[in-house]
Copies of this chain bind each other. A is one copy, B any other.
Amino acid sequence: MIRDLKALNRLVDSFRKLPSVGLKSAERMAYAVLEMKPEDVEEFAQALTNVKVKIHKCPVCGIYTEDEVCEICSDPERSHDTLIVVSFQKDVYAFEKIERFKGVYHVLNGVLSAVNGVGIEDLSIDSLIKRITEEDIKEVILATNPTIEGETTALFIAKMLSKYTVKITRLAYGMPMGGHLDYTDSMTLNKALEGRTKIKNEE
């Protein structure tokens, strides 16, 4: 019955495109829209369109912004010679949350993936190379996820950047803080063993 309403089904389809929204949830949401005040629905529709009109990617680093250049790239107090390369926008927020890093970022917009058909041309690699040649960048920290695809992407970029006089580093691998040895996968344990550091005894 309610599934016979074409206009409602169309909205259900749109809701289903959102993360972790299945058919049941999408139907409940569409039904809620039916019950909303007309002005609230109008506001919802305008807010949606507005997001795409007002927000764009920073032409320098790729972070979402409402300004011409994002607040990180335009901040004179940050070190513009150290650059963290991440796959996704949300990784930038992860770093910003720890309030430790005071350099700038570069968002690749994905990882190399044969399965998902993501190639070099789909990532912002050209603009990264442009920054390295034009700006005075001393260190590039590759911070793609420690997954097979993330690793492949990091290695590929490291290779492409090897001809420039820039220091290329990668985030450390190892045991996560608060982790338990018996719950740690063998790959992580291997990396933790490989990367072991000497404990300095105070004398």
Residues of A within 8 A of B (CB): 1-2, 4-8, 10-11, 13-14, 17-21, 25, 28-34, 36, 38, 40-55, 63-66, 71, 89-90, 92-93, 96
- As for how many copies of this chain the complex holds, the number is 2
Contact A45 B49 (CB under 8 A): yes
Main secondary structure of the interface of A (DSSP, over half): helix
Contact B44 A5 (CB under 8 A): no
Min Cβ gap A153→B in Å is 18
9 A-B pairs, CB-CB below 8 angstroms?
Answer: A1-B71, A1-B93, A2-B93, A7-B55, A11-B48, A11-B50, A17-B32, A34-B52, A34-B55
Residue in contact with A33 in the complex, picked from B2, B34, B40, B51, CB distance below 8 Å: B51
Min Cβ gap A202→B in Å is 40
Given contacts A33-B48, A34-B51, contact A6 B66 (CB under 8 A): yes
A65 to B48, CA, bound (A): 26
A100 to B197, CA, bound (A): 74
Given contacts A5-B64, A45-B45, A92-B1, contact A52 B29 (CB under 8 A): no
Contact A10 B50 (CB under 8 A): yes
Contact A66 B1 (CB under 8 A): no
Contact B17 A36 (CB under 8 A): yes
Min Cβ gap A11→B in Å is 4
A53 to B11, CA, bound (A): 13
Contact B14 A43 (CB under 8 A): yes
A53 to B8, CA, bound (A): 11
List 8 additional contacts besides A14-B48, A21-B29; criterion CB under 8 Å. A1-B93, A5-B54, A7-B55, A11-B47, A17-B44, A18-B29, A19-B29, A41-B51
Contact A41 B52 (CB under 8 A): yes
Min Cβ gap A89→B in Å is 8
Min Cβ gap A93→B in Å is 6
Given contacts A8-B55, A30-B51, A54-B6, contact A14 B66 (CB under 8 A): no
